[in-house]
Amino acid sequence: MLLRIKHYLFLSPINIYKMKKLLATFTLLFITLNLFSQDVNKDSYGISIGSGQAGLYSFGKAYVIGGPDYEGLSAIEAGLNYYHPLNKFLYFESGIYWHHNKIKITPAPYPGSVFNPRYTNLNLFYIPVNLKLMFLKYFFIDGGMLLNMDVSTHSDISNQTAIGADFGFGIEIPVLKHYSITINPYVNIHELYKLDRHDLGKSILGDGVRLTLKINSPHFKAVSPK
């Protein structure tokens, strides 16, 4: 565990450069957001857990005949959420998530030979940069951009540091005056543009259901007034 933590902290110069690009983009978005409104203390926060299935795809890449088969197994994720109201129905939505899943790799079959599958782990952090639209009081759709940072150790698939996209929908259920629970089916396309253009292997496509405990601002009740 300590060795894994050290690996996360002491990244290679290439990964540090990529992280700086992602953080600079994220900071710029927050600065832009603050220009839209002078209201403060209206932000909301949340904590999320999710579970689902992760597959691998080769978007815009050549298929290798006779290559190994990649199968994404069950995935889990956890994250912290941030919400900023832009108006009565539209929110800026962001945060940071940790995603983990195991991937099964089966070698290509050859006559007279038997190859056992092997397994590899994928770990990444990602930052969603989304818009969330509320409608019919409790329902919403959300979507936008994903900023991904691969922190896997000894993974047998390509580096997943990339810019992706996500889409979801769900329901937000008030439970107390300033608290609500969100149930959110989602789809995450983790790579639409890979920062390392020399590493164009398999990419992760995840779908699942996310459960969020949302802490609303004291200025807003979880239940909208009639």
- What string of DSSP letters covers 138-171? TEEEEEEEEEEEE--SS-SS----EEEEEEEEEE
Alpha-carbon distance 139 to 182, whole Å? 9
The radius of gyration computed from the CA coordinates of the chain, to the nearest angstrom, equals 20
* Residue 220 Cα to chain centre, angstroms: 27
For residue 165, the model assigns a pLDDT of 95
Calculate ∠ Cα 133-134-137, nearest 5°. 170
Number of domains in the chain: 1
Residues in the chain: 226
Residue 226 burial by CB count (10 A; 0-12/13-18/19+): exposed, middle or buried?
exposed
- pTM to 2 decimals? 0.73
Alpha-carbon distance 115 to 128, whole Å? 39
Domain-embedded: residue 223: no
Nearest to 206 by CA among 62, 121, 100: 100
Domain-embedded: residue 225: no
Domain-embedded: residue 224: no
Domain-embedded: residue 73: yes
For residue 62, the model assigns a pLDDT of 45
Digits of tens for pLDDT over the chain (226 positions)?
334 333 433 444 544 555 555 556 555 655 554 454 444 457 888 899 999 888 777 655 544 455 677 777 788 899 899 999 999 899 999 999 999 888 888 777 666 666 778 888 888 999 999 999 999 999 999 999 999 988 887 777 777 888 999 999 999 999 987 889 999 999 999 888 877 655 556 778 889 999 999 987 664 445 444 4
Q: 54 has which bridge partners?
A: 206
The one-letter amino acid at 38: Q
Both tokens assigned to 171: 């329901």
What is the extent of the structural domain holding 149?
A: 2-215
Helix (H, G, I), strand (E, B) or coil at 26: helix
CATH number of the domain enclosing 186:
2.40.160.20
Domain-embedded: residue 220: no
Domain-embedded: residue 48: yes
Domain-embedded: residue 91: yes
